[in-house]
Structure 1
Amino acid sequence: MNENKNKYMEIMDIDPYLKPFKKDIELRGSNYTCYKKKLLSNNQSFQSFASGDLFYGFHLVQDGWIYREWAPGADALYLIGDFNYWNPKTHPLQKKENGNWEIFLPGLQALKHMSCVKVRVVAKNVSRDRIPLYIKRTVQNPVTHDFVGQIWQPDYSFNWQDSEFHVDNKKPLFIYESHVGMAQEKEGMGTFKEFTEITLPRIKAAGYNTVQLMAVMQHPYYASFGYQVSNFFAVSSWFGTPEDLKVLINTAHLMGISVLLDLVHSHSIKNIAEGINEFDGTDYQFFNTGTLGNHSAWGTKLFNYGKPEVIHFLLSNIKFWLEEYHFDGYRFDGVSSMLYHHHGLGVAFTNYSKYFSMDTDIEAITYLQFANDLIRQVKPNAITIAEDMSGMPGMCLPVEVGGLGFDYRLSMGVPDLWVKILKELPDEKWSMSKLWYELTSRRPHEKNIGYSESHDQALVGDKTLMFRLGDKEMYTHMSKNDDNLIISRAVELHKLIRFITMILAGEGYLNFMGNEFGHPEWIDFPRQGNNWSYHYARRQWSLMEDKKLKYEYLSNFDKEMLNLVKTYNVLSACDLQNLWTDEKHKLLAFRKGGLIFLFNFNHCESFAEYELPTGEMGEYKIVFNSDEKIFGGQGRIARDYIYGAETLKHKENKTGVIIYSPSRTVLVLKKVR
């Protein structure tokens, strides 16, 4: 016991700044140990514990159907649906122990595939027709627009062909963040089938090895981007059937592409008609009661992570998606909101004390540790990513040493950094040393996913990186034969910002679909304010495919950028070294992955004979440069020239090469001899 306790405190050896908070780390460990013992008995594993979907919900058995529900606060439950003409009296459930309810329907045809169902819940003299908690699919009535549960029991088993596919944790993630509904160019809602047939080949060709799927869990309001989940075990019927999703994932695996689910366990939709809120007639069945149960900014309900039945529900949900749909892991949404009772709203995490206080939700921390424990047991190579803007120490350290167990955290400060720089500073005032510091600062031994923009920066009211740079000029000056200065600057900086972010900001990389080719404008889902238009809720792939437009340049650059980084395994490299920071001329040089990178952010000045420190003698050759004509550059850099290292007289007699560095370009050199 003492040995395990000491091991749990290793986090303080990894990060000595945690030592003043030893009691808080001990509390984290003791809560984990005590709560785990409370949940699991007789050497039970999380994997066997998290099987709620195998007990609750609808199950076809040898001589009929069994339907079970957990509703401890209810007085009566009645199963209704098209099978009994929605009669609320013919099929009452029997009350069992521990708040469980059950009914057996004799005969294999008592319920049929695609039958519509609800359950009438009577509690405190209030009667409501609800969607079953563990339903696998819901559909919307086209006339009344209300949602109902749907029995999903096709007469065949899906033929998975991905048994040979396994995530290689030794390879960095190159994530293509995707929303199925807006992945097509048509002014309408995209489907799983279209994503499989049209979008997956694009992702493969672009060089990404991982797809992160948003909005897969059922949500009644399409414009919520999938972040207001109503039915946690149901595949979003906006995009197709459960089998359609399985085909998508199976196809991705056959292409060698991992698939992550954007998991929303940070909150739930407050809707009573569609969601799980007040299912048994109480406001505390799943959620905290009172103000603790409501997110003031999101208008959603907040889970009670200290309740064993809630942990059972959520962990069962995690296991379900891994096993039923073969997902390869999760991006956990809204982790910052989970970690703190104030949800991170209006709080600046300027020192370590902000992570350890009465505002910290220790039960949520324990839940996240359990979640990562479970995922490792079900699928040892699965990937977990935390969306945490607070920088909680230990987020991506193993649970056994005092961490929360995630593989990666999102580098959420980086997109904000770029927005701030572009909004507030002209090019000539950019600080190279600040850029270096912000992009390379990490929690010790914790891996990050770097990104310069995600879907957040593309939403209506904000701007994509390219649109922020080019703005209205993009509507009229993206033709290749148009030398507009604003667009030229935009193209050049778009390439530099994304490239330096990929190289320095993480051990993995994320791109939101379409941003790789500089998708213009913002995302605006159909809503009353835009007359329910899909015009901005789509991806205009034709812009990239039009050989006359500059979007092709950015697409080419992104593809070759990924190819270079993968070829030299740059993101996994441990040899990062700042070679020179030139504040006066706005250049930054560094070594990583055995390559030398020279970024010239100067807005107007090129340097014919720039002294570039390399750190060692030898001969060097350029293996990549952003000035290539296929990237929209001017083709000023010789591809085959060999640069011999020498003593640099104006760089403190350091060893390096003398090289031509054009304005707003990046050069990558490799030592060849």
Structure 2
Amino acid sequence: IVRSKQYLVTQKPVDLALGYRNPHGYGFCFALRRSIQEGVTSHFKGRAVMTDDKSTMSSTEEDLENIGIFRICPSLKPYKDHFKYRMKRYVDQKKLIEEYEGGLEEFAQATFPVYRNSVYGRWEAQIIGDFNGWDGSNHQIKNQFGVWSIKIPDTDGNSAIPHNSRVKFRFRHGDGVWVDRISAWIKYATPYDGVYWDPPLSERYQFKYPRPPKPKTPRIYEAHVGMSSSEPRINSYREFADEILPHIWANNYNTVQLMAVMEHSYYASFGYHVTNFFAVSSRSTPEDLKYPIDKAHSLGLQVLMDVIHSLASNNVTDGLNGFDVGQTSQDSYFHTGDRGYHKLWDSRLFNYANWEVLRFLLSNLRWWLHELKFDGFRFDGVTSMLYHHHGINIVFTGDYNEYFSEATDVVLYILPDATVIAEDVSGMPGLGQPVSDGGIGFDYRLAMAIPDKWIDYLKNKNDYAWSMKEISWSLTNRRYTEKCVSYAESHDQMIHFITMALGGEGYLNFMGNEFGHPEWIDFPREGNGWSNEKCRLCCLSEIYVIILFLELVQFMNAFDRAMNLLDDNFSFLASTKQIVSSADDDDKVNMLPNDCYIVFERGDLIFVFNFHPENTYEGYKVGCDLPGKYRVVLDSDAWEFGGHGRVRSPNLSGDGYG
């Protein structure tokens, strides 16, 4: 499908057909219509070698001997051979992409200049839809090495396929049966139908605001747009932008993370069972999604997207799984057999060694960054991507042998200007280190053990059994120089605050936790009569009314705002200075048995937390790095946060103790 020439006024269209074949006889090809600026030429070669277990290109031994991660963590040196193997695989693959594709940027530009689909096998294929009365006999699709493509010229300056009309990919495989599927590269889809999305200029949303600067540290507000309404219905992107984004900005967050953006047929999957990877969730449209992203940028908020590349929906009719019709793993998006199926998630697992799968996933990332203007990603299920066992029934104890073995299957991404966060439960060393140092290249790791620890305490321990040592250890147990984003599924002010202040170099709050959302979230499903009653953010769209009239919500929301403002003013999350001076269950300085205090310094601030369920103290001594006068800058016991106002003195002083 070629866009109308009015969109290519300053460019020349060039048709390229690039072929790839590896020594094992597997081949991949795609037909691509590229638009190349005047004076720019393409330097691609027509053949490339696929890397599976071995590579024909290698990096120098000197480079592999001087891997930077060993300077940071010498205890990893016994696993040097593993790091060398991993780095060599990455360097060789990158060289192949650079030599035969022109680089990662070019490799990841296969989006939608032609109607294309990656299906492997000796089959017939057609494009069908409303535009040809669902008769594809005159629109046969060419197959070159498993990638099918067709170019349909415009008619009198109008697209041959009307905007917002239904379209599908039809193919006939070995048993002679014709099968209809939604294209893997479709940009918009409704349940069981692909939709050709190419609105005229007059109907396209035009971005008005530039991306905001990347913050020193992310303070993230995680949101599910569909459940952000106060009413029992699915909220729209535009309503979210107008009703919720102002609240996020007012509470001093600097980043919004959107869940369930990619199309997923089953709403109750929370967006994790993706059926169409390039398509915006069908609950709204691509143009509608651009509006909240642009508005967030106007407020100085970065926008991250939950991206699901660890799995794909098991659906056949409307998902990628529908293209798996018994071919080999090398000829499919997924591994075959048990290796290609995640039993706990009831989903398919990608074959990352497949050249076209890499193109598909990297192009997918580029699409969301460049076309929709997202500023980065939180990668879901990274543990499943890192290991052949996918973390199923595995308990990670921290033993390095759990990380560096044949069970590891590392996927490395390079996204120079994006913020990338990994959801990993294993604690893989190097996950947050630069690729150039032997790491995997994520900016942050989501500190998933922290909310689990708080849930364990709240469910299983009475208030007198809380261990200050264990709490402080759980919050500080992260690898040196590898940044973490901490979070807690709780409505407790102190849990939120100490998690933010001690748990990482970034902070995340799921919508509603900031004001004590009273409802348990339950998506529409058969068990609740497909009701949206519990799948909504109770009264958040009326947050300012609530703040005026409900004291509890007012106090919690005010403290959440103050926490974020504190980091705005003092940048303590970005500080590498972190000293825990007291986390004993018995305070030997103040001669207090069964004490429940945690005291630490972060940047220029001293934090003092009293977790005792009953006792309050006067004249309590705390250690500090620098002597001098200290002033109280945030007090959870202040009147404005619903406290008793017991910390009345604005200034504290001392020599070594404050």
Alignment-mate amino acid for residue 644 of structure 2: Q
Match of 1:267?
311
Q: For 1:253 and 1:605, locate their aligned partners in 2 and report how far apart those are by CA, in whole Å.
A: 46
Residue 634 of structure 2 corresponds to residue 624 of structure 1:
yes
Alignment-mate amino acid for residue 529 of structure 1: G
Match of 1:569?
571
Moved more, 573-582 or 525-534: 573-582
Match of 1:656?
657
| One of 223, 236, 242 as aligned partner of 2:281 | 236
Residue 157 of structure 2 corresponds to residue 147 of structure 1:
no
Question: Per-residue deviation at 1:594?
Answer: 1.0
Alignment-mate amino acid for residue 468 of structure 2: M
Q: Say whether the 8 Å CA contact 2:232–2:536 is kept in structure 1.
A: yes
Match of 1:102?
150
Residue 242 of structure 2 corresponds to residue 197 of structure 1:
yes
Structure 2 unpaired stretches of 5+ = 1-59, 586-593
Report the secondary structure of 2:582's partner residue. Answer: strand
Q: For 1:11 and 1:644, locate their aligned partners in 2 and report how far apart those are by CA, in whole Å.
A: 42
Question: Per-residue deviation at 1:203?
Answer: 0.6
Question: Per-residue deviation at 1:42?
Answer: 5.5
Match of 2:65?
6
Question: Per-residue deviation at 1:282?
Answer: 3.9
Q: Say whether the 8 Å CA contact 1:92–1:103 is kept in structure 2.
A: no
Match of 1:15?
73
Question: Per-residue deviation at 1:538?
Answer: 0.7
Question: Per-residue deviation at 1:96?
Answer: 3.7
Question: Per-residue deviation at 1:93?
Answer: 1.8
Match of 1:667?
none
Alignment-mate amino acid for residue 104 of structure 2: F
Q: Report the TM-score, using the length of structure 1 for normalisation.
A: 0.83
Match of 2:583?
581
Q: Say whether the 8 Å CA contact 2:305–2:378 is kept in structure 1.
A: yes
Q: Say whether the 8 Å CA contact 2:152–2:160 is kept in structure 1.
A: no
Structure 1 unpaired stretches of 5+ = 57-66, 141-145, 454-464, 467-493, 647-654, 658-673
Residue 658 of structure 2 corresponds to residue 644 of structure 1:
no
Question: Per-residue deviation at 1:2?
Answer: 3.8
Q: For 2:107 and 2:130, locate their aligned partners in 1 and report how far apart those are by CA, in whole Å.
A: 34
Alignment-mate amino acid for residue 390 of structure 1: S
Residues 537-590 of structure 1 show CA distances to partners (whole Å, capped at 9, x for unaligned) of 111125743523412111111101111122111101122112223412111111
Question: Per-residue deviation at 1:607?
Answer: 1.1
Q: Say whether the 8 Å CA contact 2:162–2:196 is kept in structure 1.
A: no
Q: For 2:300 and 2:93, locate their aligned partners in 1 and report how far apart those are by CA, in whole Å.
A: 39
Q: Say whether the 8 Å CA contact 1:74–1:122 is kept in structure 2.
A: no
Match of 1:329?
376
Q: Say whether the 8 Å CA contact 2:119–2:146 is kept in structure 1.
A: no
Question: Per-residue deviation at 1:429?
Answer: 1.6
Q: For 1:577 and 1:94, locate their aligned partners in 2 and report how far apart those are by CA, in whole Å.
A: 64
Q: Say whether the 8 Å CA contact 1:96–1:102 is kept in structure 2.
A: no
Q: For 2:286 and 2:479, locate their aligned partners in 1 and report how far apart those are by CA, in whole Å.
A: 39
Q: Say whether the 8 Å CA contact 1:69–1:102 is kept in structure 2.
A: no
Question: Per-residue deviation at 1:608?
Answer: 2.3
Report the secondary structure of 2:619's partner residue. Answer: strand
Q: Say whether the 8 Å CA contact 2:167–2:193 is kept in structure 1.
A: no
Question: Per-residue deviation at 1:507?
Answer: 0.4
| One of 289, 301, 305 as aligned partner of 1:245 | 289
Residues 279-307 of structure 1 show CA distances to partners (whole Å, capped at 9, x for unaligned) of 26345410001110000101100000011
Residues 92-149 of structure 1 show CA distances to partners (whole Å, capped at 9, x for unaligned) of 2233455433242451242111111112111112321111121110124xxxxx3333
Question: Per-residue deviation at 1:34?
Answer: 2.3
Question: Per-residue deviation at 1:216?
Answer: 0.6
| One of 276, 296, 300 as aligned partner of 2:320 | 276
- Once the two structures are superposed, the pairs formed by residues 244-323 of structure 1 within 5 Å of their partners are 244-279=288-323, 281-282=325-326, 284=329, 285-323=332-370
| One of 381, 388, 392 as aligned partner of 2:428 | 392
Percent identical pairs in the alignment equals 41
Q: Say whether the 8 Å CA contact 1:123–1:280 is kept in structure 2.
A: no
Q: For 2:602 and 2:346, locate their aligned partners in 1 and report how far apart those are by CA, in whole Å.
A: 45
Report the secondary structure of 2:645's partner residue. Answer: coil
Report the secondary structure of 2:333's partner residue. Answer: coil
Residue 641 of structure 2 corresponds to residue 598 of structure 1:
no
Q: For 1:506 and 1:244, locate their aligned partners in 2 and report how far apart those are by CA, in whole Å.
A: 34
Q: For 1:497 and 1:278, locate their aligned partners in 2 and report how far apart those are by CA, in whole Å.
A: 45
Residue 456 of structure 2 corresponds to residue 411 of structure 1:
no
Report the secondary structure of 1:41's partner residue. Answer: helix
Match of 1:610?
620
Q: How many residues align?
A: 579
Residues 477-525 of structure 1 show CA distances to partners (whole Å, capped at 9, x for unaligned) of xxxxxxxxxxxxxxxxx11111000001110000000111111232100
Q: Say whether the 8 Å CA contact 1:177–1:211 is kept in structure 2.
A: yes
Q: For 2:607 and 2:154, locate their aligned partners in 1 and report how far apart those are by CA, in whole Å.
A: 70
Question: Per-residue deviation at 1:617?
Answer: 3.0
After superposition, the Cα gap between the structure-2 partners of 1:101 and 1:593, relative to the gap in structure 1 and judged at 3 Å, is: same
Match of 2:590?
none
Moved more, 594-603 or 271-280: 271-280
